[in-house]
Structure 1
Amino acid sequence: MDILALISRLIDYPTEELVNAKADVVGFIESDEHLTADDKAGLLNFVEQRFSMDLLDWQSDYDAMFERGRTLSLLLFEHIHGESRDRGQAMIDLIAQYKAAGLDIGLRELPDYIPLFLEFVSTQGAANARGWLQDVAHILALLKVRLEKRDSEYAALFSALVNLAQADIDYADLAEQVKGEKRDDTKEAIDKVWEEEMVKFGPDANSDACGTAVNKPSPAQRRDQDVPIQFIDAIVADTVAKENVSAVTVSGGN
């Protein structure tokens, strides 16, 4: 599903290169065969609104939305494991699955960064891609509802992803869930988090910085139909774990 690669780029940090490609982006959305009419309209509205902004204003708004607080984190495991130790093992498991599909990512790239995840999924064929999206559909839907609560055009991107997954989501339940959530991106909320978290020192102190989807799978890495859909494997063979632990350092925080 090539449309996933485009949505990945739209979710990633906005750049001048992206803005300059507006005509191509619009054309790609309009010609896609997987999107519903409503999702096409939502994505086109996103492009029109965001690409018309001053780039620095867009980038500033992006930072304020996704880089402060955790409710809108673009790291999948932040919403599943939080700060638990299970997050590290989940990272290792996902990296192993990327490698099984022929994709190697940089040591400083977090495998659960949504744009990177979507880049990978876009190379796995329509059937497998849908299965991978279904595995994380509840997270994508939660982000959609939270973004809608903030009246953000970014909600359309996550709405399209949930629909591409063909997932059955109870949006009314999610809306009720986030109804009472307090903003965690205010100065007061951020200061409180800094006070509560343990200070980290050493070479891995910054290893949890959010990665970017810059290493795209090449055509040679495509394995359209032979990758089993296993988002989080409960049991990983010792050989796989040892192989990846030696190559990857995973931080427990965001």
Structure 2
Amino acid sequence: MSLLKLIGVLLDYPDDELWRHGDELLDAAADPALPAARRKALTGFLQGLLDSDPLTAQDAWLQTFDRGRSMSLLLFEHIHGESRDRGQAMVDLIEAYRKQGFELAAKELPDYLPLLLEFLAQRPPAEVRDWLGHISHIVGMLAARAGERGSPSQVLFELLLELADGKVDLAVLRQRASEEARDDTAEAMDRLWEEEAVRFGAEAPDDSCRPNTLRPSPSTAAPQVQP
């Protein structure tokens, strides 16, 4: 299993399949090509996940990635938000997959980061660096926010930054993350629901048909891309 595929699996919603393949995942995490410190951190993250109760791990995933938008694994959430441009960006990304001979195997949002990593795991190294370079600022902010919130997933995002071989200044992003208002608190979630309340008639916004921003449901969360 490649490192990109492993990171994608570990970022995805942890369904029961993960525990059934624990040994295979641990073998992949012990990749000797990784620097010793990174190998130790990655193995520690994975072992901690495997040692946890699945329901506890699943709840922790939801608390990290499914509350608010700042930790969303949907990449276009961080670029386009709820604008109309997001729909066209989705179409363009699906077309980019298809040009390389890949089709999505399920009705998943194409900008879901674990899905993109599943695709990139089968692409040449130069192409991988190019793709990761284009999203490195988003990944860097996710790494910074994960660190600010004490999430062990920080190591996964930092590994992606290193694979991108980009110029992201993580120290600057960490400072920015430390100054941000949290959007995953109960109060912030209440405000979000109020802002997104369904409105009809004259009060309905012009972009009421904007694309869904929710992550794939846990039952379809495992990203699959087929040649």
Q: Same fold (TM over 0.5)?
A: yes
| Conservation of the 8 A alpha-carbon contact between 1:29 and 1:44 | yes
Given the alignment of the two structures, is residue 216 of structure 1 paired with residue 224 of structure 2, yes or no?
yes
Given the alignment of the two structures, is residue 160 of structure 1 paired with residue 159 of structure 2, yes or no?
yes
Question: Matched residue of 1:42: which SS?
Answer: helix
Question: Matched residue of 1:74: which SS?
Answer: coil
Deviation at 1:194, TM superposition (A): 1.0
Over the aligned positions, Cα root-mean-square deviation in angstroms equals 2.1
* Structure-to-structure mapping, 1:73-152, within 5 angstroms: 73-105=72-104, 108-152=107-151
Q: What is the alpha-carbon distance in structure 2 between the residues aligned to residue 198 and residue 162 of structure 1?
A: 37
Q: What is the alpha-carbon distance in structure 1 between the residues aligned to residue 84 and residue 212 of structure 2?
A: 16
Q: What is the alpha-carbon distance in structure 2 between the residues aligned to residue 12 and residue 19 of structure 1?
A: 13
Deviation at 1:4, TM superposition (A): 0.6
Q: What is the alpha-carbon distance in structure 1 between the residues aligned to residue 71 and residue 157 of structure 2?
A: 12
Q: What is the alpha-carbon distance in structure 1 between the residues aligned to residue 128 and residue 49 of structure 2?
A: 27
Q: What is the alpha-carbon distance in structure 2 between the residues aligned to residue 36 and residue 93 of structure 1?
A: 36
Q: What is the alpha-carbon distance in structure 1 between the residues aligned to residue 86 and residue 210 of structure 2?
A: 16
Deviation at 1:39, TM superposition (A): 2.1
Partner of 1:47: 46
Q: What is the alpha-carbon distance in structure 2 between the residues aligned to residue 207 and residue 32 of structure 1?
A: 41
| Conservation of the 8 A alpha-carbon contact between 1:123 and 1:217 | no
Partner of 2:23: 23
Deviation at 1:36, TM superposition (A): 2.8
Given the alignment of the two structures, is residue 185 of structure 1 paired with residue 193 of structure 2, yes or no?
no
Q: What is the alpha-carbon distance in structure 1 between the residues aligned to residue 143 and residue 199 of structure 2?
A: 32
Q: Count how many residue pairs are aligned between Structure 1 and Structure 2.
A: 216
Identity of aligned residues (%): 41
Q: What is the alpha-carbon distance in structure 2 between the residues aligned to residue 214 and residue 153 of structure 1?
A: 20
**Runs of 5+ unmatched residues, structure 2:** 201-208
Please report the TM-score for the alignment, with normalisation by the length of structure 2. 0.87
| Conservation of the 8 A alpha-carbon contact between 1:75 and 1:114 | yes
| Conservation of the 8 A alpha-carbon contact between 1:68 and 1:184 | yes
Question: Matched residue of 1:31: which SS?
Answer: coil
Deviation at 1:213, TM superposition (A): 5.4
**Runs of 5+ unmatched residues, structure 1:** 222-254
